[in-house]
Each structure stands twice: as C-alpha cells, then as structure tokens.
Structure 1
C-alpha cells in the first residue's frame, strides 16, 4: 500500500534551505520515493489551515517511507532542514 509523507514547512533560513533542497532528491532514490507536491501554490478551501511550503512525498509503502526518514542517506539533508525551518511532518497510508 502506498504511503505519503506530508510536510508543512516554515522556512527560517532560505539559504540553508536551498542546500537542503539540493540533497534531498538523491536520498529518495534507494527508497523509491518521489515528490508529488514540492512547494507549489496552496489554497485553503475549508478550515483555517495556512500551510507554509507544502511538500508531499509518495513511497511504495509506509515501511519504505519510515526507512527513508530515519536513514543515514537522508540524515545530512534532514539536519539541514531542521536547522533551516520549522516543520510539521506526518506519514499517511494510501487506500490502494
């Protein structure tokens, strides 16, 4: 079953965040992850959620998503993201 990592990001250090963006794509490859949404425009249709930068990643399974997030491959990029932003990050399983 596919799984999605959904991230709402408020960038606090744009220059450092640019370094993060350069490292992340290669870290996804071993886990078959891919970007579905990467910082495009958002529009709130209901409620009061006002996301910052919205990112959605797709993985073939929740196990691969968790493995990527906790991997040594992603660790350097994750440290940059954590230093350059405030994030809310969830894992959601798909329905198929």
Structure 2
C-alpha cells in the first residue's frame, strides 16, 4: 500500500535550504519515491494552518519511506535541512479502494 510523507517546513536559512533541495530528489528516487507536492502555493480552507512550505512525497510502502528517511543517500541532505529549517514530518499510509 502506498505511503505519503507530509512535511511542513519553516525555512530559517534560505541559502542552505537551496543546497538541501539539490541533494534530495536523487535520494527520494533511489527509494522509489516521488514528489507529489513540492512547495507550491497553499490556501487555507479551514482553520488557521498556513505553512510557509509544504511538501508531500509518495513511496510504495511505509517501510520504503522509512528506509529513505534513514538512508545514507539522504543523510547529508537531512543534516542540511535540520540546520536550515524547522520541520514537522510524518509518514501516513495511503488508502486502498
């Protein structure tokens, strides 16, 4: 069953975050993942949730998403992101009809 990684990001160091964005796509693809949303504009329809940046990734399974997050391919990028932004990230199982 597919899985989605949902990330809310508040960038604190834009220069370093640009470096992060260079490393991330290859690491995601290496674990069969893809971007579904990558920082597009958002509009709050209910409540007061207005993220500065929102990213959604899709992986074939929750296990594959976890493998990516813990992978050596993502380690360098993860370290940059953790220094350059405040992040909330979760993985959620997709819905199968």
Instruction: Name the TM tier (shorter chain).
Output: over 0.9
Q: Show CA shifts across 1:4-47 (max 9, x none).
A: 00000000000000000000001012210000000000000011
The RMSD of aligned alpha carbons is 0.6
**Are 2:33 and 1:33 equivalent residues in the alignment?**
yes
Report what 2:70 is aligned to: 70
Q: Show CA shifts across 1:58-84 (max 9, x none).
A: 000000000000111100000000000
Please give the residue correspondences for 1:84-95 in structure 2 after superposition, counting only pairs within 5 Å. Answer: 84-95=84-95
CA distance in 2, matches of 1:30, 1:36: 16
Q: Which runs of 5+ in 2 are unaligned?
A: none
